[in-house]
Amino acid sequence: MQEENPQQEWTPPPPPDDGSIFSAGTRDLYAQQIRSGSIKALVFGILCIFCCPPIFAYFAFTTADEVLTNIDIYQVEEGRRGLAQAAKVLSIIGIVLWVIGLIIRVAGLAATR
pLDDT at 4: 60
Residue 53 and residue 97 in contact, taking contact as beta carbons nearer than 8 Å: yes
Instruction: Tell me the domain boundaries of the chain.
Output: 24-112
Q: Which of 43, 51, 95 is nearest to 67 (CA)?
A: 43
Query: What residues contact residue 77 under an 8 Å CB cut-off, 6+ apart?
Result: 31, 34, 35, 38, 71
% of residues, the chain, pLDDT over 90: 72
pTM over 0.95: no
What is the pLDDT at residue 11? 84
Q: In this predicted structure, what is the pLDDT of residue 28? A: 92
Model confidence pLDDT, tens digit, residues 44-60: 999 999 999 999 999 99
